[in-house]
């Protein structure tokens, strides 16, 4: 091939696991082959898709160039070349052969077994009709039927051609229900329990959105699923099982945070008000990116251990064996076992609900092809002994992974990327400047074009195999296959030697792209390899006892063939990582504590933390217009999103009523806010245009108080407060308000900037009146009351309105004891120099009215559409000094340095000269 620059290099040093050997390196079209000089050693074959990372190092002091290899089987090795040119040719050849542009370049399309495998029915080992009839569909129960609605893969391209749905539901109803599920992945039957006709169904998330869309067809479909064991068409006897409770579950595998983020994208989770006779549970299993990062930390810890061991052996004359240098603390910090624990916990919930509660379970995550496949397949292994045999396990993988659209090509990253190849050559004379520039541009271009499918990689199927290994280790006599079977399956998941795990959907395997025969006709199935006599003999478990799974077994340890996983007994699969059990797990393995939440059961929208957050705007914004005590924090849910949940919340009408019309939810600034006292005069508050009104969350239930409340929480001045964290600035929920209305976001910024900006201006006051010779900077510092309103000239403004006689503020949040009516004239004046202008507690006794209080009104009726700023003083036309006899003394008056100073027209309250 043109990609192979050099096919053979002799006298190469090969280092692995601290040992070094000399031999010859061969490069073929699909493998790296290393042949040892010692004829007794077996050749090393490394398929190119198995390579995860290659790093070419600079020449060392001895003049050798080392190329390090990391594989997906968690092995580290290196080749040392005498010539730097040989190392460069090998590096470039391996990169071009590993980074494939098309799946048809992979080894499976060229592999031909020699001799041929005895069996060649691997592609047809799973027959949907045969498997579901074995479960009892169409025989024991008539409540389910096969449908050909997806026979040409147009109904749902990622589903199989044959689906099983409730008998009561027609294909027309399925067509309507598909529009309500992400990627049209409707709920379909995955497993029918042999003991009580409980079922496991799977789907994708509903397209609820922030307006809480609903689908009657989807609700009827799930209702029919949850009633299949009572269906009149069924042969199942309608007899209650003693001790069993019908608790149909909808399992949302995601954390609630992810469900909220998906709601902002138009998807979300079910509103349990519309799905009767069922409950919902959030398992809190993280998404694919968290899993990928967690495994990367495990790989890094293994890599550092290999490098340390190699360094130790290079410094010593004799090779040290059995030295444990792996950092187990780094392994624990990776969180890998914690993720496995979460999957095992979810599996246990499903198994108990199916077998003990005689109920149904619907599982979904986001798209229903990652976490959903993990939970569904693991639960079936625990519930049905057939899936613990070699053939049964192969059918399970085909049924719940391959045929229902798990994205093997994307998750495994078979096409690789140049990002995983790095070269640190220290020769400045290699190549010309033009060549270097061209190489740099090509590297940048490849980096950008390859990023998308790299972000889609995740060890989803790897996690499933590790969980099966946990079950196998906890129940060693209940599986027909040994640990080697799982390890070999993991190897061929990435080797690309067979076509089973190459593509994303059944449609791609059965039909292809129209250019030539489909993949199932051009490649060999991995099951043909595993069903060969040699592999069957190597993988069969000698301690397997099928009699333990007999349902009629009445011994004290009889469990009717049901396995209950122990989530607290989770360990690293040390054989897969090439380490000893003590090196990876130690002698004692502590139970893994999970950071993720497991929330449920949820019976209604009022109990759903996701719908609570999305349906109430005030819970999504960490902004409050008044310092109230009406909101508290719910520790397990609010901490993850930094939102405040009201402690007393009425029954949520749902997202639809809260967001049906954004403009209707915005406050009318012509009316006083329920969370604060009205302004001195209701007519003083100008009407704000509806398109520029701030969100209703600023005055919603989270911050509203009773009109007769007599206490206010003291707070620091507005200009001294730190800016609170804006919930809209975080993560995937950022687009919630942006999708609804850009005006709402603009209004929030406008109000915040106005409050903070004008408050700072008060600390640097200037002349209140406009002058002809003032600079633009001075003009900007003038108070709002001295500015003209929009569309109003300066000639019509009264000059007396621009002069400040005294700088006093009233408490805008103080409420009177008389039905919430404000009596600002009876309140003692608050100096703007007071440390806490809102700290005045309302007097429990009613204040006497000041003589002539009705005349204390602002001279300027502002026509500005902006709300009255509590930090801006009201400018009266005339101030009448109340006599002591006309005002009752208050019990809690605010004292300030200027309390006893005579305040008249000659007093300068700002200290900047008389106006």
Which residues participate in catalysis according to the annotation?
365
Please give the Cα distance from 390 to 488 (Å, whole number). Answer: 13
Is residue 264 marked as binding? yes
Q: Which of 858, 50, 39 is nearest to 494 (CA)?
A: 50
Is residue 265 marked as binding? yes
Instruction: Give me the DSSP letters along 247-270.
Output: -EEEEE-S-HHHHHHHHHTT----
Please give the Cα distance from 242 to 357 (Å, whole number). Answer: 10
Within 13 Å and on the Cβ side, how many CA atoms surround 861?
A: 6
Helix (H, G, I), strand (E, B) or coil at 320: coil
Q: What are the residues facing 423 on neighbouring strands? A: 56
Beta strands in 307-368 (DSSP E): 361-364
Percent of the chain as helix, strand, coil, to the nearest 5 = 35, 10, 50
Is residue 368 marked as binding? yes
Q: Which of 548, 867, 482 is nearest to 676 (CA)?
A: 867
Within 13 Å and on the Cβ side, how many CA atoms surround 534?
A: 6
Q: Which of 581, 75, 71 is nearest to 328 (CA)?
A: 581
Per DSSP, helices labelled H in 763-805 are 776-780
Contact 137, 147 (CB under 8 A): no
Which two tokens mark 877?
């036309």
Instruction: Give me the DSSP letters along 145-165.
Output: EEE-TTTTS-S-TTS-SSEEE
Please give the Cα distance from 695 to 718 (Å, whole number). Answer: 20
Whether residue 115 has a cis bond before it, omega within 30° of 0:
yes
Q: Which of 467, 287, 473, 492 is nearest to 380 (CA)?
A: 467
Is residue 644 marked as binding? no
Placement of tokens 């954004």 in the chain: 662
Q: What are phi and psi of 244, to 5 degrees?
A: -90, 145
Is residue 371 marked as binding? yes
Taking the CB of residue 866, how many other CB atoms lie within 10 A of it?
17
Which two tokens mark 768?
């209140």
CA distance between the termini of the chain = 91
Crossing angle of helices 483-495/460-474, nearest 10°?
Answer: 170
Q: Which of 468, 696, 497, 496 is nearest to 576 (CA)?
A: 468
Contact 665, 658 (CB under 8 A): yes
Sort strands 31-36 and 19-27 into parallel, antiparallel or unpaired.
antiparallel
Contact 589, 571 (CB under 8 A): yes
Which two tokens mark 449?
């074009």
Whether residue 130 has a cis bond before it, omega within 30° of 0:
no
Is residue 64 marked as binding? no
Is residue 496 marked as binding? no
385 DSSP 8-state letter = G
Is residue 590 marked as binding? no
Is residue 739 marked as binding? no
Q: What does each C-alpha distance from 834 to 29, 552, 627, 717, 723 come to in angstroms?
A: 81, 83, 17, 9, 21
Annotated binding residues, written as ranges, equal 262-265, 365-371
Annotated binding residues for substrate, written as ranges, equal 262-265, 365-371
């Amino acid at each position: 091939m043109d990609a192979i620059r050099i096919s053979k290099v002799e006298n190469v040093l090969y280092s692995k696991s601290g040992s070094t050997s000399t031999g010859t390196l061969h490069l073929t079209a699909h493998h790296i082959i290393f042949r040892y000089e010692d004829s007794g050693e077996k050749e090393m074959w490394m398929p190119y898709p198995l390579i995860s990372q290659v790093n070419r190092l600079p020449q060392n002091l001895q003049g050798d160039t080392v190329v390090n290899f990391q594989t997906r089987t968690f092995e580290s090795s290196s080749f040392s070349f005498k010539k730097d040119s040989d190392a460069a040719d090998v590096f470039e050849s391996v990169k071009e052969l590993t980074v494939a542009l098309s799946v048809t370049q992979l080894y499976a399309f060229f592999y031909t077994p020699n001799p041929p495998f005895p069996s060649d029915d691997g592609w047809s080992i799973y027959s949907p009709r045969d498997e579901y009839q074995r479960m009892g569909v169409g025989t024991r129960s008539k409540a389910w039927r096969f449908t050909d609605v997806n026979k040409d893969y147009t109904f749902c391209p990622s589903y199989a051609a044959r689906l099983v749905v409730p008998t009561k539901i027609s294909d027309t109803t399925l067509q309507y229900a598909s529009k309500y599920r992400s990627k049209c992945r409707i709920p379909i039957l995955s497993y029918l329990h042999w003991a009580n006709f409980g079922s496991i169904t799977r789907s994708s998330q509903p397209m609820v959105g922030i307006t809480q869309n609903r689908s009657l067809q989807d609700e009827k479909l799930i209702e029919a699923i949850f009633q299949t064991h009572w269906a009149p068409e069924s042969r199942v006897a309608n007899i209650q099982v003693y001790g069993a409770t019908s608790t149909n579950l909808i399992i949302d595998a995601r954390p609630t945070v992810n469900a909220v983020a998906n709601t902002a994208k138009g998807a979300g989770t079910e509103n349990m008000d519309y799905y009767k006779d069922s409950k919902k549970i959030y398992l809190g299993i993280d998404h694919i990116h968290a899993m990928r990062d967690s495994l990367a930390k495990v790989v890094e810890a293994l890599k550092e251990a290999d490098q340390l061991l190699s360094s130790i052996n290079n410094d010593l004359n004799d090779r040290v064996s059995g030295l444990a240098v792996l950092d187990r603390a780094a392994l624990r910090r990776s969180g890998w076992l914690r993720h496995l624990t979460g999957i095992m916990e979810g599996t246990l919930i499903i198994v108990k609900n199916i077998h003990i509660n005689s109920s149904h379970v619907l599982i979904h995550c986001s798209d229903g092809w990652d976490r959903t496949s993990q939970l569904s397949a693991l639960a079936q292994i625990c519930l049905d002994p057939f899936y613990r045999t070699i053939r049964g396990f192969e059918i399970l993988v085909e049924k719940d992974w391959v045929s229902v659209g798990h994205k093997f090509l994307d998750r495994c990253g078979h096409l690789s990327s140049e990002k995983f190849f790095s070269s640190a050559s220290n020769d400045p004379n290699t190549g010309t400047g033009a060549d270097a520039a061209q190489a740099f541009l090509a590297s940048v271009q490849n980096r950008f074009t390859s990023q998308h499918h790299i972000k889609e990689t995740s060890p989803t199927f790897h996690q499933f195999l590790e969980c099966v290994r946990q079950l196998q280790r906890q129940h060693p006599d209940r599986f027909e296959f040994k640990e080697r079977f799982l390890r070999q399956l993991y190897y061929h998941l990435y080797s690309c030697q067979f076509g089973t795990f190459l593509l994303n959907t059944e449609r791609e395997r059965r039909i292809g792209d129209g250019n030539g025969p489909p993949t199932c006709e051009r490649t060999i199935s991995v099951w043909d390899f595993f069903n060969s006599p040699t592999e069957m003999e190597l993988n069969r478990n000698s301690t397997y006892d099928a009699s333990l799974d007999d349902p009629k077994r009445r011994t004290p340890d009889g469990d009717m063939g049901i396995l209950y996983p122990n989530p607290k007994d989770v360990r690293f699969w040390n054989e897969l990582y090439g380490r000893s059990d003590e090196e990876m797990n130690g002698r004692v393995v502590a139970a893994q504590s999970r950071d993720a939440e497991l929330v449920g059961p949820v019976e209604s929208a009022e109990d759903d933390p996701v719908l609570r957050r999305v349906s109430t705007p005030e819970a999504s914004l960490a902004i409050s217009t008044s310092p109230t005590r009406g909101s508290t924090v719910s520790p397990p849910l609010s901490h993850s999103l930094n939102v405040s949940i009201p402690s007393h919340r009425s029954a949520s009408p749902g997202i639809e009523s809260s967001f049906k019309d954004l403009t209707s939810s915005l406050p009318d600034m012509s009316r006083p806010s329920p969370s604060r006292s009205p302004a001195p005069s209701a007519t003083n508050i100008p009407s704000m245009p509806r398109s520029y009104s701030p969100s209703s969350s600023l005055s919603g239930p989270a911050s509203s108080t009773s009109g007769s409340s007599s206490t206010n929480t003291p707070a620091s001045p507005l200009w001294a407060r730190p800016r609170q964290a804006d919930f809209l600035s975080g993560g995937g929920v950022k687009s919630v308000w942006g999708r609804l209305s850009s005006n709402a976001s603009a209004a929030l910024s406008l109000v915040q900037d106005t409050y903070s900006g004008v408050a700072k201006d008060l600390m640097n006051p200037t002349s209140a009146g406009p002058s002809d010779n003032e600079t633009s900077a001075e003009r900007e510092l003038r108070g709002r009351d001295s500015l003209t309103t929009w569309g109003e000239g300066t000639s019509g403004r009264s000059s007396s309105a621009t002069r400040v006689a005294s700088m006093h503020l009233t408490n805008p949040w103080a409420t009177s004891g008389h039905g919430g009516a404000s009596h600002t004239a009876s309140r003692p004046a608050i100096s703007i120099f007071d440390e806490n202008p809102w700290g005045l507690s309302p007097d429990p006794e009613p204040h006497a009215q000041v003589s002539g209080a009705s005349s204390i009104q602002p001279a300027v009726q502002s026509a500005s559409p902006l709300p009255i700023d509590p930090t801006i003083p009201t400018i009266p036309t005339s101030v009448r000094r109340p006599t002591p006899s006309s005002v009752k003394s208050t019990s809690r008056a605010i004292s300030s340095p200027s309390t006893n100073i005579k305040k008249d027209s000659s007093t300068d309250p700002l200290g900047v000269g008389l106006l």
